[in-house]
Amino acid sequence: MARALGENPRLQNIEPWVEDSGEGRWTVQEAVESAVPAPVIALSLMARFRSRQPKSFADRLLAAMRNQFGGHEIKRPGA
């Protein structure tokens, strides 16, 4: 986070978007159908959906952190 904020303190040109690859959805659906609790995975899926709300500094920060840590692509405005 320190590196991301050092490079871009206001997180400009970073969309608050965390990609949903489908594995979380599939896992939550299977858990529901099997009556197996999976609260952490379900909450992480909900956080990904929450990240799609505009103007969220916290989720822009999350997108920047994922880019720094795992090289995950950052969605840019208009892209």
Domain that holds residue 6: 2-70
Q: Residue 27: inside a domain, yes or no?
A: yes
- Asked whether residue 79 is assigned to any structural domain, the reply reads no
Whether 78 is in a domain gets the answer no
77 falls within a domain:
no
Question: What's the confidence (pLDDT) of residue 70?
Answer: 80
CA distance 74 to 62: 10
What pLDDT is recorded for position 26?
Answer: 95
Residue ranges of alpha helices (H) inside the chain are 2-7, 23-34, 39-50, 57-70
DSSP 51: T
Spatial distance between the Cα atoms of 79 and 46, rounded to a whole number of angstroms: 23
Taking the C-alpha atoms of residue 64 and residue 8, their distance in angstroms, rounded to an integer, is 9
Q: What is the pTM of this model?
A: 0.55
Mind listing the pLDDT tens digit of every residue in the chain (79 residues)? 898 899 999 888 887 777 778 899 999 999 999 999 999 999 999 988 887 877 778 888 888 888 888 888 888 777 6
Domain count of the chain? 1
